[in-house]
Amino acid sequence: MTYKAPLKDMLFNIQHIANIEQVALIPGFEEAGFDTAQAVLEECAKFNEGVLSPLNWEGDIHPSNFKNGVVTTTPGFKEAFKQYVEGGWQGLQHPANYGGQGLPKTIGAACGEMLNSANMSFALCPLLSDGAIEALLTAGSDELKAVYLQKLVSGEWTGTMNLTEPQAGSDLAAVRSRAEPQADGTYKVFGTKIYITYGEHDMAGNIVHLVLARASGAPEGVKGISLFVVPKFMVGKDGALGARNDVHCVSIEHKLGIKASPTAVLQYGDNGGAVGYLVGEENRGLEYMFIMMNSARYAVGVQGIAIAEMAYQKAVAFAKDRVQSRPVDGSIKASAPIIAHPDVKRMLMTMRAYTEGCRAMASSAAAAYDASHHHPDADVRKQNLAFYEFMVPLVKGYSTEMSLEVTSMGVQVHGGMGFIEETGAAQYYRDAKILTIYEGTTAIQANDLVGRKTMRDGGLTARRIAAQIEVTEADLLKQGSADALVVARRLKAAREAFLDVVDFVVAHTKSSPNAVFAGSVPYLMLAGNVVAGWQMARSLLVAQEQITQGVDLGFMKAKITTARFYADHLLTKAPGMRDSIVEGAECVTALALEAF
């Protein structure tokens, strides 16, 4: 089956959860209200449904291939990328003065979800370019911006992120690639980088590698890492492409999923050194790379939502079509479509609730990003930045772990047919697995949540979020419907569990780090669950109000049912998770190493 964009749900979030009309009050976004969002999303849906979705299965069975130093992408990808560029999709969120459309992330994130649902392997190329653009906008010199940004924003050239080395996975202190300064102000870069997404391909005229390396004389550890632009082809003063730089692909990986996306091993400097250009200042490379990383981490969270949506759509279509057994209540006297069976409904509702909850959470975070970067009031920017930064590990960590559960359920709904590749359900399961690993594993997101996002301000941001949740609880009680009262009770219990864990983390991270970090991933999952559940509670309130106005009754009633399901079946996990974190740390670390 091909993808059908969930436009109603996306636009519901953009209008009511992200409050796009408030975003449109920010200078520079005046033309980016709801009408613009609707027009952009509808056009985006046409492209992704019609062009990219039909290529997704093709990419799985005919992945990118490597021969004689050349990477050839899946048949159809090159032509689709040309259409993507011509449509202006790469520049959607980027500044107009570099050829972009300057739209808010609130709109761009929804377009990113569509792109990844339609074809995640394809979407990885523009995702990495987005990160390179963000890094150059923030730390690049005027000269680097003039040479590279317009071409990257247009999509004529693509970007990569080069962190990992064979001996340095997540531990970037172990990076050995080196950069030797030259008399003309450039550097010669030497080293090997692995896991480079779209590090070599045939879809664009040039590839702009952003590379972490140590300049000569740099201190050891992460403090000695610098960031360099290393183009595949040199760029002349007139902007024309020149000679091939000394960076070459030596192989691509054979992977469990995202097979159409070429994951390259790149060798720098085999023939005298690759010419590189310093980004910003020496020894501040990790700081700049985190700009790319945070951009990519949020985007990977959106990938989780995207792949979950596609798995849900496929499971629903199969469940409506597959006839098997009579319903247990006897409502149908013969064998019926399996969607009539309660446990299949439970699985489909779980898939739906997870996906909608995470989509709403990501949409609220996108609006905070827009305010944190563009609002004229410094205090508003500061408050929204704190909220957005707290959200990034939740969007990345919770949404991607969620996607594994949802895509696994998608296979389960298909039964034995789900285990057969030809049905396509297994591809989503395989593709989803990488999401919990790249751009920082779930454990790394959890470490970030504990160290940078909770401990750094003594739990202040976490408690402020809890206070906002409490306001929503009061609104639910005031609304007073049966569904609202149940959701209020569930949300209160989840919020209190969240606060207990925040207090535990703040009180014990310094004195008992093993106890806290033994529960860091459960803390991340609890926090993500609570925040997504909060957004679903907000959605319920909006839907109840819309029903009183007679707006789209079918959609609004379904939203209320899904929010209630989330509260009863997913939010209820929070108190138990609290117990495992606060009271269960000792048994995680108690077993002697030799007993494993």
Query: Does 418 fall in a domain?
Result: no
Residue 567: per-residue pLDDT: 98
Instruction: Assess whether pLDDT exceeds 90 at residue 444.
Output: yes
Q: CA-CA distance, 188 to 180, in Å (whole number)?
A: 5
Task: Categorize the per-residue pLDDT at 138 as very low, low, confident or very high, splitting at 50, 70 and 90.
Answer: very high
Residue 513: per-residue pLDDT: 97
Query: Does 542 fall in a domain?
Result: yes
Instruction: Assess whether pLDDT exceeds 90 at residue 290.
Output: no
Question: Average pLDDT of 376-390?
Answer: 97
Instruction: Assess whether pLDDT exceeds 90 at residue 159.
Output: yes
Task: Categorize the per-residue pLDDT at 141 as very low, low, confident or very high, splitting at 50, 70 and 90.
Answer: very high
Residue 169: per-residue pLDDT: 84
Query: Does 373 fall in a domain?
Result: no
Question: Average pLDDT of 491-511?
Answer: 98
Task: Categorize the per-residue pLDDT at 173 as very low, low, confident or very high, splitting at 50, 70 and 90.
Answer: confident
**Same structural domain for residues 95 and 186?**
no
Query: Does 424 fall in a domain?
Result: no
pLDDT in tens, 319-361: 999 999 988 988 888 999 999 999 999 999 999 999 999 999 9
Q: CA-CA distance, 301 to 398, in Å (whole number)?
A: 8
More confident residue, 80 or 329: 80
Query: Does 200 fall in a domain?
Result: yes
**Domain end among 282, 314, 339:** 282
**Domain end among 282, 298, 319:** 282
Domain span including residue 548: 442-588
Question: Average pLDDT of 446-469?
Answer: 98
**Same structural domain for residues 170 and 139?**
no
**Same structural domain for residues 457 and 566?**
yes
**Same structural domain for residues 116 and 196?**
no
Question: Average pLDDT of 242-263?
Answer: 98
**Same structural domain for residues 188 and 56?**
no
What percentage of residues in the chain have a pLDDT greater than 70? 100
**Same structural domain for residues 478 and 559?**
yes
Query: Does 423 fall in a domain?
Result: no
**Same structural domain for residues 448 and 536?**
yes
As for how many domains the chain has, the answer is 3
**Same structural domain for residues 477 and 577?**
yes
Instruction: Assess whether pLDDT exceeds 90 at residue 2.
Output: no
Q: What is the CATH number of the domain that holds 125?
A: 1.10.540.10
What is the rounded (10 degree) CA torsion for 145, 150, 151, 155? Answer: 130
Query: Does 502 fall in a domain?
Result: yes
More confident residue, 327 or 317: 317
Strand 226-231 relative to strand 274-278, pairing: antiparallel
- What is the sign, positive or negative, of the torsion defined by CA atoms of 137, 138, 141, 144? negative
**Same structural domain for residues 117 and 223?**
no
**Same structural domain for residues 77 and 101?**
yes
More confident residue, 291 or 535: 535
Question: Is 129:152 a contact under the CB 8 Å cutoff?
Answer: yes
Catalytic annotation, residues: 439
Question: Average pLDDT of 511-531?
Answer: 98
Task: Categorize the per-residue pLDDT at 573 as very low, low, confident or very high, splitting at 50, 70 and 90.
Answer: very high
Question: Average pLDDT of 306-316?
Answer: 98
The kind and range of the H/E element at 495 are helix 482-508
pTM over 0.85: yes
Q: What is the CATH number of the domain that holds 178?
A: 2.40.110.20
Query: Does 392 fall in a domain?
Result: no
**Domain end among 111, 143, 175:** 143
Instruction: Assess whether pLDDT exceeds 80 at residue 190.
Output: yes
133-170 in b/e form (b: 16+ CB < 10 A) is bbbbbebbeeebbebbbbbbbbbebbbbbbbbbeebee
**Same structural domain for residues 447 and 517?**
yes
**Same structural domain for residues 119 and 212?**
no
Residue 293: per-residue pLDDT: 87
Average pLDDT value over all residues in the chain: 97
Residue 1: per-residue pLDDT: 77
What percentage of residues in the chain have a pLDDT greater than 90? 95
Task: Categorize the per-residue pLDDT at 386 as very low, low, confident or very high, splitting at 50, 70 and 90.
Answer: very high
Q: CA-CA distance, 87 to 44, in Å (whole number)?
A: 9
Asked which of 120-124, 449-453, 562-566, 586-590 is least confident by mean pLDDT, the reply is 586-590
Question: Average pLDDT of 392-398?
Answer: 98
Asked which of 169-178, 230-239, 337-346 is least confident by mean pLDDT, the reply is 169-178
